[in-house]
Amino acid sequence: MKQFTSVADVPNVSNLIEDVLRIKGTQDREFGKHKNLTMLFFNPSLRTRMSTQKAAQNLGMDVSVLDSGQGWKLETEPGAIMNGDAQEHICDAIKVMSSYTDVLAVRSFPTLTDKEADYNETLLKAVIASSQVPVLSLESATRHPLQSLTDMATIVESGIRKPKIAVTWAPHPKCLPQAVVNSFLEWSAFLDADVWLTHPPGYELDAPFTQHATVTHNQLEALEDADFVYCKNWSSVTHYGQRLEGYDDWMVDTMKMSRTKQGKFMHCLPVRRNVVATDAVIDSSIVYEQAANRVWAAQAVLQQLLKA
Ligand code: CP
């Protein structure tokens, strides 16, 4: 695998999911010995940062971590006249960084104001264009492939055959990206699963992401007999990046979960308790198992990238 930025980069999705579960709990410190992983963050992260670092260490890799914006600001605009705050252009920084490392990982978020730039993945493409080594996405403007690989492995690990998966929008006080849900829908098309997507009017996703799902504005219809409830907020695509008023009653609670087939509640975390879902739902969920699986997904991907 030459890069890992979306499911389209993966030659065999089922094999990669199996890899995640096969290597779970293992280390191979010889595999990545004398190799370096560099992680560049344009946005904060707890799970992606720690799990990818742990995965690299399990393979014996050294890890370098840089946070852009904390005293070191990168210009990302092509052709920019750099007379502002940014000291260095991303094209120069990435060329230099990739000469020091074996895998370059980058976490960026969407602007949520410029849909064209976000959906063109301008920043990620700039990184790929300047990197001399494989690029690993730690979440981009429109996708979060490491999260989705983890989610698929967690679902397969449950052993439930042909599951019904209800992907539901939930309320949130801030405008959030569409990356997690976009990516989940792309990856879940490779599972033998019945995928439903439910959200209030105005929260439609871009059509290419929803083509394999049954879409409804009726949350209870989607949750009915579901084996998994995948819950996530995202901001509007049609009113790009906006938070539409209302819909607080879309929070997932035990009454809604009782409509499922003893459904397992999933969320990528971080989660706003008693806004997105109630304490009772989160406390009886599989979100911590899901988060723990982030290590094994990252480890499987790093192994593939080091083989490239
Ligand atoms: N789920 C996830 O990507 O979490 P972080 O933002 O903490 O990395």
Atom of ligand 1 nearest to the CA of 44: 6
Q: Is 248 inside a domain boundary?
A: yes
**Cβ distance 7 to 297 under 8 Å?**
no
For residue 246, give both structure tokens.
């209302």
What's the pLDDT band for 73 if we cut at 50, 70, 90?
Answer: confident
Q: Is 57 inside a domain boundary?
A: yes
CA 218 to chain centre: 25
Cα 29 from Cα 57, distance rounded (Å)? 7
Q: Would you say the CB of residue 39 lies under 6 angstroms from ligand 1?
A: no
**Cβ distance 143 to 182 under 8 Å?**
yes
| Phi/psi at 102 (5° precision) | -105, -25
Q: Each residue of 169-198: pLDDT tens digit?
A: 999 999 999 999 999 999 999 999 999 999
Rounded (10°) CA dihedral 108, 113, 114, 120: 30
Atom of ligand 1 nearest to the CA of 144: 3
Atom of ligand 1 nearest to the CA of 49: 8
The answer on pLDDT for 76 being more than 90 is no
Q: Which residue has the higher pLDDT, 41 or 308?
A: 41
Same domain, 156 and 278: yes
Q: Would you say the CB of residue 13 lies under 6 angstroms from ligand 1?
A: no
Same domain, 139 and 17: yes
Atom of ligand 1 nearest to the CA of 51: 8
The answer on pLDDT for 71 being more than 90 is no
Count of domains forming the chain: 2
Q: Is 177 inside a domain boundary?
A: yes
Same domain, 241 and 122: no
Q: Which domain holds residue 102?
A: 7-143+294-307
H or E segment to which residue 128 belongs: helix 122-130
Mean pLDDT of all residues belonging to the chain = 97
Same domain, 104 and 233: no
Residue minimizing CA distance to atom 1 of ligand 1: 268
Same domain, 174 and 212: yes
Q: Is 192 inside a domain boundary?
A: yes
Same domain, 124 and 171: no
Domain with 153 in it: what CATH number? 3.40.50.1370
| Coil, helix or strand at residue 225 | coil
Q: Would you say the CB of residue 45 lies under 6 angstroms from ligand 1?
A: yes
The answer on pLDDT for 78 being more than 90 is no
**Cβ distance 302 to 61 under 8 Å?**
yes
Same domain, 137 and 159: no
Q: Would you say the CB of residue 47 lies under 6 angstroms from ligand 1?
A: yes
**Cβ distance 181 to 236 under 8 Å?**
no
- Which residues touch 12 (CB under 8 Å, ≥6 apart)? none
Q: Would you say the CB of residue 53 lies under 6 angstroms from ligand 1?
A: no
pLDDT at position 124 is 96
Same domain, 58 and 165: no
Cα 244 from Cα 90, distance rounded (Å)? 34
Same domain, 38 and 90: yes
Q: Each residue of 256-303: pLDDT tens digit?
A: 999 999 999 999 999 999 999 999 999 999 999 999 999 999 999 999
Same domain, 303 and 285: no
Q: Is 1 inside a domain boundary?
A: no
